[in-house]
Every structure is written in structure tokens, then in C-alpha cells.
Amino acid sequence: MTAPLYDLIIVGGGPIGLACAIEAQKKNLNYLIIEKGAIVNSIFNYPLYMTFFSTAERLEIGDIPFNCLAPKPGRQEALEYYRNIHRYFKFNINLFEKVTAVQKKQNEIFEIATDKKVYKAKNVVIATGFYDIPIDMNVYGENLPKVRHYYKEAHEFAFRKIIVVGANNSSVDAALECWRKGAEVTMVIRKNEINSRVKYWVKPDIENRIAEGSIKVYFESNITKIDENQVEVDTPNGKITIENDFVLALTGYKPDLDFLEKIGIKLSDDELKIPVYNSETMETNVKGLFLAGVVCGGMQTHKWFIENSRIHANLIIDYISAN
């Protein structure tokens, strides 16, 4: 039996990948989504009680209303919404299947290899986000089990001495939640202040906890060594040693840039590693290979969000269907 030739294969089943599928359905394109984990896998891996910065309507796709009682939706509500989106549109989607290679053949057809089989398509959209690869601190002891690059909930850190690295939304949320569950929290922050992008209703909370001494903080500081029971920190006043049970190294995440280069997409030569693409069509330097969502920003992971990259789906599918 001959394998089907798809008009479009979408790599990544997050909100933007789903948005691309919705537009493909509208244009009667034969498509397949391939997702390495669960549907909207990144959101599934967010902290249990995370609240979005965006309001519900800014997370909507496919003109389907996102009803939410609170001013800002949380992780659980978002998962429910996107599951309902799948129930409504009945996507052609393969879950828990990882794409390992995308190669364009001489006949201009793409071969997409996964850990299960090989597919063929005329066009490919990469909508893989940026939550897969933590940005390492590159220090001794970072590979110890006590070091976590992802945070789910506070309970296991209750009544323990923890260090939270970073000053962004995930770091601040983790520090506050763990402190409220009884952890002794110390923050180690490379810059001299809490990040200005921290959610406006959370920023005063963390600043007040720091000011009153409930949460200790070392600004302009970096971890230099991690041992089983302590951590060495380089501060403006010299190196210090802190007793420690866990390190939450919430230092950010990055797209799989090696994969982008492996499949032929050029990246900028600077440290931002921004992929080459046409902003009007989202097509990369490889004809028929498109980018959608956060992955477009390279290391600028705060440039694109669900709310401002939903339009990528329209740009891509309009271009494909017109050609």
C-alpha cells in the first residue's frame, strides 16, 4: 500500500500547530499533525497552578470562544479548552510520536521521519515551540538529582532549603509558591532587579516578600558550584556557601536549534540564532518548509506568544493554498 502524500505535515501539536490545522481544514488541505507528546504538550508541562498573562480571548483559536470565570485563565482551563478544540475539529493528529528528520528530496517532496514511520508531504510546518531544552547554567553539580529545570508544584519542597535561580515569571511563581508551602527560599538573580516582564499582579508580591526578609535574594549573583548539601554562589561581596536541599534552575528554555539547522533552516550568525524566514509567508530558506509560533524567535523566546503568533497559521495556509 502506497503511503499517502499529504499537502501539509505540521510538526507540533501546540496551540499554533492546531491553529495551522484549523486553517488547513478550511482550505480542504490533506494534513497531518505529528506531536511528540500529549496534545498542547508544553501547556501540559507548565506548573500545575500557573496563570496565563494573557486573557482567555487572546488564547482562542479557530473562532471558538474560550470561556473563563477568572480574569486570567490557568493551566487546567487552557488544557480543557484545547481538548474541546480537538473534539470540535477532530484533527488528524498523531500523539506521542517524535519527528527525527525532515528531508527534501529531488522531486520536491519532503520525507518526514519519526520514531515510528516515514511520511511524505508537499509542505511542512515546524511549530515546535521552545519549552523542550532548558538553558543550562554550565556549573559543577548541575546534573545532580536535586537540580530541577522544570517546576510542577511546591509540595515536595515544603520545609526544605531551596534556591530558585532567575527572576522571570516561572522563577517568581515558584519562589512564592514554595515559600507559602513552608520552604526556606533563597533567590539567586544575575541582574540587579526582578524582571520587568513579571506579571504585574505578582511583581509587588515578590518584591514585598524580599523587602520583609521572608524570601532572601542575592542580586548580581551566580551559582558557581552545586554539592549534595550546599551551593556556592558568587555575589558582589565575594563567594558564599549556602546550605541547600534543592535548586530550581528556572533559567529559561530554547527551541531545538540543532534540529532546525539539521533540516536545512539557516540561523542568524549572532547569539540570537533567529531562523531565516519570510515574515509575509513564514516560509524559510527551504522552499515549502515553514515556521509558526515561538520557534520563529530563536533565542528571543519572549517575542512570540500564542496571542501574537496565531496569525502565522493564516499566512502559511493562505500561501500554500494559493500556490
Does 91 lie in the same domain as 38?
yes
Domain that holds residue 263: 5-133+253-322
The predicted-structure confidence for 230-280, as pLDDT tens digits, reads as follows 999 999 999 999 999 999 999 999 999 999 999 999 999 999 999 999 999
- Say if residue 15's pLDDT is above 60: yes
Q: How does 35-60 read in b/e, with b if 16+ C-beta sit within 10 Å?
A: bbbebbbbbeebbeebbbebebeebb
Q: What is the CATH number of the domain that holds 235?
A: 3.50.50.60
Does 231 lie in the same domain as 264?
no
The predicted-structure confidence for 182-230, as pLDDT tens digits, reads as follows 999 999 999 999 999 899 999 999 999 999 999 999 999 999 999 999 9
Does 235 lie in the same domain as 152?
yes
The DSSP letter of residue 277 is B
- For the chain, the domain total comes to 2
Question: Which of the listed residues 249, 268, 297 is the one where a domain comes to its end?
Answer: 249
* Helix %, strand %, coil % of the chain (to 5): 25, 25, 50
Question: Which of the listed residues 249, 276, 304 is the one where a domain comes to its end?
Answer: 249
Does 151 lie in the same domain as 222?
yes
pLDDT of residue 303: 87
The rounded distance, in Å, linking the Cα atoms of 134 and 150 is 8
Does 112 lie in the same domain as 28?
yes
- Say if residue 86's pLDDT is above 80: yes
Does 124 lie in the same domain as 15?
yes
pLDDT of residue 262: 97
Does 106 lie in the same domain as 220?
no
Question: Which of the listed residues 225, 249, 273 is the one where a domain comes to its end?
Answer: 249
The predicted-structure confidence for 161-171, as pLDDT tens digits, reads as follows 999 999 999 99
Let me know: does 143 contact 172? Beta carbons within 8 Å: no
Does 160 lie in the same domain as 112?
no
Residue 98, Cβ neighbours under 10 Å: how many?
13
At 32, which helix (H) or strand (E)? strand 31-34
pLDDT of residue 141: 97
- Say if residue 1's pLDDT is above 70: no
Give 26's pLDDT tier (boundaries 50, 70, 90): very high
pLDDT of residue 2: 67
The reported pTM is: 0.92
Does 308 lie in the same domain as 264?
yes
Does 243 lie in the same domain as 279?
no
Does 17 lie in the same domain as 41?
yes
Does 241 lie in the same domain as 194?
yes
The rounded distance, in Å, linking the Cα atoms of 8 and 18 is 13
The predicted-structure confidence for 89-148, as pLDDT tens digits, reads as follows 999 999 999 999 999 998 899 999 999 999 999 999 999 998 889 999 999 999 999 999
Give 304's pLDDT tier (boundaries 50, 70, 90): confident
